[in-house]
A = this chain, B = another copy of it.
Amino acid sequence: MQNLIRIGIVGYGNLGRGVETSIQKNPDLQLVGIFTRRAPETVKPCFAETSVFHMDSLSEFKDKIDVLILCGGSKDDLPQQTPQLASQFNTVDSFDTHARIPEFFDAVNAPALANKKTVMISIGWDPGMFSINRLFGEALLPDGETYTFWGKGLSQGHSDAIRRVDGVKAGVQYTIPSTDAIEKVRRGSRPQLSTKDKHTRECYVVLENGADAKVVEQAIVTMPDYFADYNTTVNFIDEETLRKEHSSMPHGGFVIRSGNSSAEQNQVIEFSLKLDSNPEFTASVLVAYARACYRMNKTGQYGAKTAFDVAPGLLSMKSPEQLRKEIL
C-alpha cells in the first residue's frame, strides 16, 4: 500500500463541505483537516472525525499536507490566498472568473516555480471539464463551431436580482438551455446563436403579502441585462413549495462541437453534465485533480497548471497498467 495523499481544506462553505464528503469516496486520500478563519470550535464538519483548525496555524502544517484544496470564492478569497499559499503548498482551486485567468495564472506561477510547488488553478466544470471539451472539439475538428449551453441550473446572480424587486419576498431563477437550439446544433447546421438564443429563464417567486403578481411579473421580465432580452417565465409559489422544491443547487450544461472532417462529412462531439449538486460535483473534480497535483509535483512539474496541462491518467486511483487493461 502506498502512503495516503494528505489533503487540507481551506474555507468551509458548500464547496468545502463537498470536498470533505468527496475525500471519503477516495481511499488513497486522507483529510488532515479543515482550515477556517472562523473560531474552529464554531465549525461543524460533516463527519465527526474531521479536525478543524484556524487558518493562522496553516504554516505549521507545511510538512504534514501534500495538497491544499482552496474552497474560497473567486472574487475576494482566491486572488489573495492562492498567490500567498503557492509559496508553501501545492494547491488546487476553482478560480472561475474567466476573463481574469491569465493574470491570476501569472500571479501564482512565479511563487510556485520559485518554491517548487505545483498550483492547479481554475479546476471544476466550467472552467475545467467544459474547457477540456471545448479544447478537444477544436483540436479534433478544426473546421467547426463550439457551442456551450448552461443549465438547467440555479443562477445565484439572477436569483438575487429577482429578490430585489418590490413585492418579492423570496425567489430563485433557473437558466434553461433551449431544446430547440440544442437540436439545431446537434443536426450539424452550425447555426449562429447568441447567449440569449441558447437559454431561457425560469423564475419561482414568493410574493409579499398584498403584492400584485402582474406588476411583479412585469418588473422581472423587463429588467434590463438580467431578463429583458430573454424568454422569461415567472411562476408564483408559496414559501413552503420554495423550501421543499427549490432549495437544492442543480446545474449542468452542454458543450457541443459540430464540425466537418471533409466537405460532406459532419461530425458532432457532445459533452454534458446533469448535476443534482453543483458544489458537490465541483468538489469531486477538485479532489481528483488534487491527486494529479500531488503526482505532478513528485515528478518535478512545478508552477501554475490548468486542466489543459493534466494528462487524464494522473486523475485516476488506478495504475497506468490497470487503466490500459481495464478501461482503455
Chain A interface residues (CB < 8 Å from chain B): 18, 21-22, 25-26, 98, 101-102, 105, 122, 127, 129, 131-136, 138-143, 146, 186, 188, 261-262, 264-277, 280-281, 283-285, 288, 291, 306-313, 315-318, 320-321, 323-325, 327-328
What are 17 A-B pairs with beta-carbon distances under 8 A?
Answer: A25-B142, A25-B261, A102-B321, A102-B325, A127-B328, A131-B328, A133-B271, A138-B316, A138-B327, A139-B316, A139-B317, A261-B280, A308-B312, A308-B313, A308-B320, A309-B311, A310-B311
What is the CA–CA distance of A328 and B122 in the complex, to the nearest angstrom?
8
Tell whether, in the assembled complex, residue A323 and residue B311 are in contact, meaning their CB atoms are under 8 Å apart: no
Tell whether, in the assembled complex, residue A288 and residue B18 are in contact, meaning their CB atoms are under 8 Å apart: no
Tell whether, in the assembled complex, residue A311 and residue B313 are in contact, meaning their CB atoms are under 8 Å apart: no
Tell whether, in the assembled complex, residue A284 and residue B328 are in contact, meaning their CB atoms are under 8 Å apart: no
Expressed in whole angstroms, the minimum distance between the Cβ of A232 and any Cβ of chain B is 27
What is the CA–CA distance of A53 and B39 in the complex, to the nearest angstrom?
74
The 6 A-B pairs with the shortest beta carbon distances in the complex, nearest first, are A308-B313, A261-B280, A139-B315, A265-B277, A268-B274, A265-B276
Candidates B139, B269, B317; contact of A142 at CB < 8 Å: B317
Residues of chain B within 8 A of A318, CB atoms compared: 138
Candidates B26, B186, B272, B328; contact of A306 at CB < 8 Å: B328
Residues of chain B within 8 A of A281, CB atoms compared: 140, 261, 267
Copies in the complex: 2
Residues of chain B within 8 A of A268, CB atoms compared: 273-275
Candidates B269, B284, B306, B309; contact of A140 at CB < 8 Å: B284
- Chain B residue nearest in CB terms to A276: B265
| Interface-centre pick from A101, A142, A321 (highest chain B CB count, 10 A) | A142
Answer whether A135 and B323 are a contact pair too, CB < 8 Å, given A265-B277, A271-B271, A273-B267: yes
- Chain B residue nearest in CB terms to A27: B142
Answer whether A261 and B274 are a contact pair too, CB < 8 Å, given A310-B311, A327-B138: no
Answer whether A327 and B134 are a contact pair too, CB < 8 Å, given A261-B22, A311-B310: yes
Residues of chain B within 8 A of A140, CB atoms compared: 129, 281, 284-285, 288, 315
What is the CA–CA distance of A246 and B69 in the complex, to the nearest angstrom?
53
Tell whether, in the assembled complex, residue B262 and residue A21 are in contact, meaning their CB atoms are under 8 Å apart: yes
What is the CA–CA distance of A102 and B105 in the complex, to the nearest angstrom?
38
Expressed in whole angstroms, the minimum distance between the Cβ of A321 and any Cβ of chain B is 7
Tell whether, in the assembled complex, residue A308 and residue B280 are in contact, meaning their CB atoms are under 8 Å apart: no
